[in-house]
Amino acid sequence: MAASPSTDTPDPTAAELIAARPHLAMHAMDGLVIDDVPLNAIADDVGTPVWVYSASAMRRRCRMLAGALADAGLDAHVHYAMKANDRLAVLRLFAAEGAGADIVSEGELRRARAAGIPADRIVFSGVGKSERELRLALTEDIAQINVESAEELAMLSAVAAAMDRTARVVLRVNPDVDAGTHAKITTGRAQDKFGIPYADAVPLYRRASELPGILPIGLATHIGSQILSLAPYRAAYGRLADLVRALRADGLPISVIDCGGGLGIPYRNEPAPLPAAFAGAISAALHNLDVRVVVEPGRWLVGPAGVLLASVILAKHTQGSRFVVLDAAMNDLIRPAMYDAWHGIVPISAVDAVAPAAPADVVGPVCEAGDTFARNRMLPPLAAGARVAILDAGAYGSVMSSAYNARPVAAEVMVDGSDWSVIRERESHADLWRGERMPHWLQ
Ligand code: LLP
């Protein structure tokens, strides 16, 4: 199943896309505004392409999710999956909301700590953590290490014992549930590389309880990303609940269930579960088990909060097609090329936004046919210099960007009410080859 929505219904209009995103508004004079800041003001100052994030949207979403989990009667803790957007300012914002972090590498651990996320609010996921990463996690004394295999458990035990430390371990179980999302971001089927086979979970937990340096405290699952249906969640959490009962029947204590992330967002106008429904699915499976619940959302917290602001370089008319060529490209936002992802594209100018629309392919200047943000998108005539916002680019946007085609990595801005600030400078051209060395025989 593809993550891109069916195209048998007309695309939502710019007005509909804006109305569904509370931090965006179209003003007659200022054009598209994020929080209280006109995107034109940011583009005039910082140039394009530029990523712009709404702090208020991130905060609102974090509170909404935490509130829904609490309302469902869960002792739940939000650990932001920082791979979605790991900028220090974004991490600091979530730290101030009391959220922890879900990390997958030494780099993420160091970033999280640099942003002020306390070690006891950090959980370490990932299918292949190096010994060096495990040692750092133990030195920092992070809250929990999610172990994904018998091999990794043995490695962690050896590392922890040698350091005379005890690792709090959560076993990530592969529940063999298909999340029904794009194949590249499905992680919970038996054939996927992730997690411990379901049938091995209880014996491995018992083994963990006997190993030096290991304290097993719970179970985890993460079945995929951009999940739009609650059914796979219910199935996975039901299977985890069965394991909790089996462990306790065997006399093995367990106090944590890590429910993973993956909650999807409407990029086009897909029906997507609300946090209350997600919390309800967790609570239905786990409410009477007396466990502390961890969730690891990434996309849901930050995706809708960000846009990629770009300028039209030129509009090319050829063979009956119209190509709107932007100064942003697949090196900036790779999701359309990589997952056939649909992102809303909205003109910044109020005049453009209501002008008669005709189909266009929206592309970047990179020398690949895959450098296409949208095909047959109904857009007004967009002349050179016109600006557009590519919506829902707050998650898996800048973090996945590269300097391909020697295109410097774009700047990033955070807006909060009427205030705004650059949170990451645009790369310079000299930055592109900083760190490169000419071998002596070529000098
Ligand atoms: N926990 C674990 C163990 C994960 O691997 C992930 C995401 C998350 C939590 C957060 O998932 P989220 O709530 O953001 O769906 N680049 C892809 C998405 C990759 C997701 C990888 N793992 C995209 O742009 O759609």
Q: pLDDT by residue (tens digit) across 4-61? A: 455 578 999 999 999 999 999 999 999 999 999 999 999 999 999 999 999 999 999 9
How does strand 37-38 pair with strand 292-295?
unpaired
Domain end: 302, 319, 344, which one?
Answer: 302
Compute, in angstroms, the gap from residue 390 CA to the centroid of ligand 1: 20
Which one, of 237, 304, 236, lies nearest residue 270 by Cα?
Answer: 304
Tell me the pLDDT tens digit for each residue of 404-433.
999 999 999 999 999 999 999 999 999 999
**414 with 85: CB under 8 angstroms?**
no
Torsion of the alpha carbons at 130, 133, 134 and 139, rounded to the nearest 10? 160
Compute, in angstroms, the gap from residue 341 CA to the centroid of ligand 1: 14
- The domain in which residue 407 lies consists of 14-48+305-432
| Other Cβ atoms within 10 Å of 419 Cβ, number | 11
Task: Kindly state the average pLDDT of the residues 314-319.
Answer: 95
Amino acid 1: pLDDT = 37
Q: Which of 29, 367, 430, 442 is catalytic?
A: 367
Which one, of 395, 388, 389, lies nearest residue 304 by Cα?
Answer: 395
Amino acid 272: pLDDT = 97
Taking the C-alpha atoms of residue 31 and residue 34, their distance in angstroms, rounded to an integer, is 10
Please check whether residue 145 lies inside any domain of the structure. Answer: yes
Please check whether residue 441 lies inside any domain of the structure. Answer: no
Amino acid 418: pLDDT = 98
pLDDT band at 237 (very low <50, low <70, confident <90, very high): very high
**104 with 323: CB under 8 angstroms?**
no
The residues, any chain, with a CB within 8 Å of residue 341's CB and separated by 6 or more, are 3, 4, 267, 335
Q: Ligand 1 within 6 A of 213 CB?
A: no
- Whether residue 264 is found in the same domain as residue 298: yes
Task: Kindly state the average pLDDT of the residues 215-232.
Answer: 97
Number of domains in the chain: 2
Amino acid 3: pLDDT = 43
Please check whether residue 438 lies inside any domain of the structure. Answer: no
Asked whether the whole model's pTM tops 0.95, one would answer yes
Burial 394-414 (b: 16+ CB within 10 A, else e): bbbbbebbeeeeebebbbbbb
Please check whether residue 378 lies inside any domain of the structure. Answer: yes
End-to-end CA distance of the chain: 53
What is the gyration radius of the CA atoms in the chain, in angstroms? 23
Taking the C-alpha atoms of residue 122 and residue 109, their distance in angstroms, rounded to an integer, is 8
Compute, in angstroms, the gap from residue 27 CA to the centroid of ligand 1: 34
Amino acid 188: pLDDT = 87
- Whether residue 43 is found in the same domain as residue 155: no
Domain end: 302, 322, 345, which one?
Answer: 302
Taking the C-alpha atoms of residue 6 and residue 8, their distance in angstroms, rounded to an integer, is 6
Task: Kindly state the average pLDDT of the residues 338-360.
Answer: 96
- Between 188 and 299, where is the model more confident? 299
- Whether residue 272 is found in the same domain as residue 317: no
pLDDT band at 2 (very low <50, low <70, confident <90, very high): very low
* Residue 369 burial class via C-beta count within 10 angstroms: exposed 0-12, middle 13-18, buried 19 and up: exposed
